């Protein structure tokens, strides 16, 4: 039985949304078929940031480079970026900036512990 190359193609849209939503457990690496997801499960609380960064990195990556990395058997010039990929990148940017600013606010509050009125 021959496999259809369309079935083997990894979608940039699905990869970005999996890394945005399930990036904390490495769901996007499970989809990509790589063993890297164990690191995400090992460092679970911090891996949410890594998932958001993967959304930004792979969402903003040119289609030729994405296909060369995850779809080596597929033509490199096939378009993969669409509006929903851009939405996932925007949400990842918003979530990561909000989480980082919240963390900084809590650290400053803990560090100064009431000295700032």
As a whole number of angstroms, the distance between CA 68 and CA 109 comes to: 46
So where are the chain's domains? Answer: 8-112
Question: SS3 for 15-62, per residue?
Answer: HHHHHHHCHHHCHHHHHHCCCCHHHHHHCHHHHHHHHHHHHHHHHHCC
As a whole number of angstroms, the distance between CA 112 and CA 99 comes to: 20
Q: pLDDT tens across 1-32, in order?
A: 445 555 578 888 899 999 999 888 888 888 88
Q: pLDDT tens across 50-103, in order?
A: 888 899 999 999 888 888 888 888 777 777 878 888 999 999 999 889 989 998
């Amino acid at each position: 039985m021959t496999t259809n190359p369309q079935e083997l193609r990894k979608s940039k849209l699905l990869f970005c949304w999996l890394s945005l939503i399930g990036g904390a457990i490495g769901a996007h690496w499970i989809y990509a078929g790589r063993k890297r997801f164990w690191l995400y499960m090992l460092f679970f609380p911090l891996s949410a940031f890594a998932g958001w960064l993967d959304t930004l990195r792979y969402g903003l990556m040119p289609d030729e480079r994405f296909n060369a990395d995850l779809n080596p058997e597929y033509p490199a010039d096939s378009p993969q970026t669409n509006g929903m990929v851009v939405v996932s990148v925007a949400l990842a940017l918003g979530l990561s900036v909000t989480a980082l600013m919240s963390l900084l606010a809590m650290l400053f509050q803990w560090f100064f512990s009431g000295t700032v009125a």
